[in-house]
Structure 1
């Protein structure tokens, strides 16, 4: 079995993003690093509830998509799927990642920056 270790790392990062989004939604605690950068003081966010409402569905979707891409890579490698499918999946993932980064930047302007 010739599975790429990066596929497992992708899945782990997706699970962490899902976990962070759920913790943010259920406890109201925003942790730095996954959803906001570490240089942001989460205690100084102007509208935490608004930030959570805005970023929770996007973070959850991004985490689920990340896990799916990692699983797709493992399955594709295991069953010798065509390599172009992996490239298409990674391309779609990159587009979603860019959209997530744009959403995160908008959330920072709307809820964090003064």
Structure 2
């Protein structure tokens, strides 16, 4: 196993963990500070955590799924061969997902969790 495969497996696990945190957030109605939020957010003073959960659940789930798909695609290409340009393209798409997701997440945190 080379370093790229290790990173790909780590990416898949991170996507799965994000989906797990999303399901827990939706089920319990509690937001995990360490996995889903920026530092400096005080949930005890948050004006509308339920609104944040409602708005961000589909985004978290979609982002976790996209990460898993990109990771699986890259593992498949690295393990069984195939055009590396597809693996590189999947990383580029994942980078765009990360940037868009970070923007949406920070915007929602500012709207629903900060005073």
TM-score when normalising by structure 2: 0.92
Shift, 1:76, TM fit = 0.6
Q: Which structure carries more helix by proportion?
A: 2
CA contact (8 A) 1:7 1:73 kept: yes
Q: Does 1:48 align with 2:53?
A: no
Aligned residues: 114
Q: Does 1:93 align with 2:94?
A: yes
Q: Does 1:76 align with 2:77?
A: yes
Bigger shift: 2-11 or 49-58? 2-11
> Which residue of structure 2 lines up, in the alignment, with residue 5 of structure 1?
6
How far apart in 1 are the matches of 2:51 and 2:69? 28
> Which residue of structure 2 lines up, in the alignment, with residue 33 of structure 1?
34
4+ aligned runs moved over 3 Å, structure 1: none
How far apart in 2 are the matches of 1:62 and 1:6? 17
How far apart in 1 are the matches of 2:97 and 2:5? 22
How far apart in 2 are the matches of 1:43 and 1:76? 46
How far apart in 2 are the matches of 1:87 and 1:33? 30
Structure 1 gaps of 5+ residues are none
Structure 2 gaps of 5+ residues are none
CA contact (8 A) 2:45 2:114 kept: no
> Which residue of structure 2 lines up, in the alignment, with residue 65 of structure 1?
66
TM-score when normalising by structure 1: 0.92
How far apart in 2 are the matches of 1:45 and 1:76? 44
